[in-house]
Amino acid sequence: MYPYLNPTFNQGFAKDLCWISKLRPSADIKRGMIVTFWSPSHPDVLSIKRVIALPGDKVITKAPYPYPTAVVPVNHIWVEGDNKDGRKTLDSNHYGPISMSLITGRVTHILRPWKGPVRWWEFEGSRRVLKGRAEDAPNFN
């Protein structure tokens, strides 16, 4: 999650230590939150990414996603890494929207290097996301 979680990414591979809340991890998810989840492409790997879009939102995708836009379906979110170079992160632009059932926790604090609480509500959002309504999200069930 460079630069937010690891500002020294380019200077070394220092590990971040985060506090993760696992209490009702997929309840009341908001844009900007940082979540942990089981990777859809590697189910044995726990991933950590920022929530960019919610059900009903339309995302202007990046390569290698096969379509120019995607609408996030019901019970799914769109996640992306903070790295400006999208080729260095495995996120929804690779595997599409993720099911909320894969979410295992939310990052609430960064303990090392100390940054304190994660102020996700200060996240400005992405210009590539057109906010929608959950009621209008596709439902594939």
pLDDT tens-digit map of 24-46: 999 999 999 999 999 999 999 99
Cβ neighbours, 10 Å, residue 70: 21
User: Residue 3 corresponds to which tokens in the numbers above?
Assistant: 């630069």
The per-residue pLDDT for 2 is 45
Question: What are the tens digits of pLDDT across the range 75-122?
Answer: 999 999 987 776 778 999 999 999 999 999 999 998 888 888 888 888
The per-residue pLDDT for 95 is 94
Backbone angles phi, psi at 123, to 5 degrees: -60, 125
Q: What is the pTM of this model?
A: 0.85
For 20-135, which CATH superfamily applies?
A: Umud Fragment, subunit A (2.10.109.10)
Domain segments of the chain as ranges: 20-135
User: Residue 120 corresponds to which tokens in the numbers above?
Assistant: 């996700």
